[in-house]
Amino acid sequence: MTESALHHDTPEARRYNRIHRRLNVADAALMVIMLVVVLVTGWTHSLHALAFRISGATHYARALFFYILMLSLIGKLLSLGLDIYSFRIEHEYHLSNQKVKSWLRDEVKGFLVSLVISALLAEVLYAIIQAAPIIWWLIAWAAFLLLFVLFAQIAPIVLFPIFYSFETLKNESLRERLLRLSEHAKTRVRGVYEWKLSEKSNKANAALMGLGNTRRIVISDTLLASYTDDEVEAVMAHELGHHVHKHIFYGIMMQAAVSFAAFWMLKTVLRKAGAYFANQADFSNLPLMILVVMAMTLLLMPLMNAYSRYNEREADRYAWKSIPSVEPFITAIDKLAEQNLAEREPSWIVEILFHSHPPVSKRIAAAEKWAGGRV
């Protein structure tokens, strides 16, 4: 493999990632515009009143659900054009093989799953606000943190199977090899599973999903089809490195700190906006809450990405120490970059704002340097 093949982007990869970033920015901007318009025009109060007319004047929880349903439908209809364009782009760049009917089914399922989760979170939040109007933000913070951990635990057995099929990895020698790797990392897993990603995508991926009793190794069939066992082992050694260095635990702690600040900010903003709403439990203030969370997320994104890149570098170093040679690691991440059309050399501003992983060129250079005994 040549130096240029390992360290330089193709024009196609640059175009694809540029379009992908613009789609993400446009989607977020569209959401912000929608929420601002709903608030400024007073439509949020109209939706609030309509929700109570549909559900009955005394059915607060049911009215809240209908409000979220209407808000979600408006958001989905506004973003539908971007979703369709994204579907076309994935096919244009040969990254998706999903048929239109399958995509439509996934869109419906995704909307319903999002609706259920959003409704659950909102019902919990406003129930707490009603029960403890003074310290609601503290109780809600603790409740949401518990729900965050719960969702991470149940995702492999409840959420992901809604969209993808999984089966126990049939390659017994590779399965035993990966289980030994997890034992060496002192990470207990419930099994090794093949992820039928090729039913919808030409991309490749692997992960260590779940927490505690639901933790499992998951490898896409697209990865198994084109990568050697050594390369698959190198990829999973990296994933296990996150658990060895307790990145999941520290991530939860960081999430706790960020969400604490977010709930404090929500409490402060709602108090200042009191005249615009009947009271704190007036769920027509939900768009304002979402805007506050989005603003905090945007402001913290460079910091969160920097922390994530630091964790990824630690996981890389663990992988290098855990496998006989770094060569399969280098070839694996280079092949993944090519197959998934990832950017190997993004600009510094793109890396800071959008990349949760170090660029592939830097990861390869670091691996080669480590192998040469200079790290």
Regarding predicted confidence, which is higher, 212 or 137?
Answer: 137
Q: What is the arrangement of strands in the sheet containing 216-220, beginning at the earlier edge strand? A: 166-168, 192-195, 216-220, 206-209
Q: Note whether 140 and 265 are same-domain residues.
A: yes
3-class DSSP state of 10 = coil
CB 133 within 8 A of CB 187: no
Whether 128 shows a pLDDT value over 70: the answer reads yes
Q: Which pLDDT value is given to residue 6?
A: 53
Greater model confidence, 375 or 319: 319
In this structure, are residues 250 and 314 in contact, taking their beta carbons and an 8 Å threshold? no
Average pLDDT, the chain: 94
- State whether 155 and 226 are in the same domain: no
Buried b (16+ CB within 10 A) or exposed e, 317-349: bbbbebbeebbbbbbbbbbbbbbbbbbbebeee
Percentage of the chain modeled with pLDDT above 70: 98
Q: What is the pLDDT of residue 36?
A: 97
Q: Is 271 exposed, middle or buried (0-12, 13-18, 19+ CB in 10 A)?
A: exposed
Residue 198 shares a structural domain with residue 107: no
Are residues 353 and 251 part of one domain? yes
Check pLDDT > 60 for residue 3: no
pLDDT of residue 275: 83
| pLDDT tens-digit series, residues 113-124 | 999 999 999 999
Handedness of CA 134, 136, 137, 139 (dihedral sign): positive
**What's the CA gap between 57 and 54, in Å, rounded?**
9
Q: Which amino acid is at 54?
A: I
Helix H, strand E, coil C: the string for 240-302 is: HHHHHCCHHHHHHHHHHHHHHHHHHHHHHHHHHCHHHCCCCCCHHHHHHHHHHHHHHHHHHHH
Mean pLDDT computed over 138-157: 94
Residues 302 and 184 in one domain: no
CB-CB neighbours of 258 under 10 Å: 15
Given 241, 259, 288, the domain boundary residue is 241
* Owning domain of residue 363: 3-165+242-371
pLDDT on residue 1:
45
63 plus 103 within the same structural domain: yes
Are residues 150 and 176 located together in one domain of the fold? Answer: no
Clarify whether residues 136 and 76 are in a common domain. yes
d(C-alpha 156, C-alpha 164), whole Å: 10
Residue 235: which CATH number? 3.30.2010.10
Select from 248, 60, 78 the least CA-distant residue to 152: 248
Question: pLDDT by residue (tens digit) across 245-262?
Answer: 999 999 999 999 999 999
CA distance 278 to 296: 25
219 and 118 inside one domain: no
State mean pLDDT over 48-75. Answer: 94
Please tell me the total count of domains within the chain.
2
**Is 15 in the same domain as 62?**
yes
Do residues 80 and 109 both lie within one domain? yes
Q: 58: pLDDT confidence band, cut at 50, 70 and 90?
A: confident
Q: Are residues 231 and 257 in the same domain?
A: no
CB atoms within 10 A of CB 233: 23
Reported as a single tens digit per residue, the pLDDT across 213-241 is 899 999 999 999 999 999 999 999 999 99
Q: What is the pLDDT of residues 152-205, one digit of tens each?
A: 999 999 999 999 999 999 999 999 999 999 999 999 999 999 999 999 999 999
What per-residue confidence (pLDDT) applies to 191? 93
Q: What's the confidence (pLDDT) of residue 112? A: 97
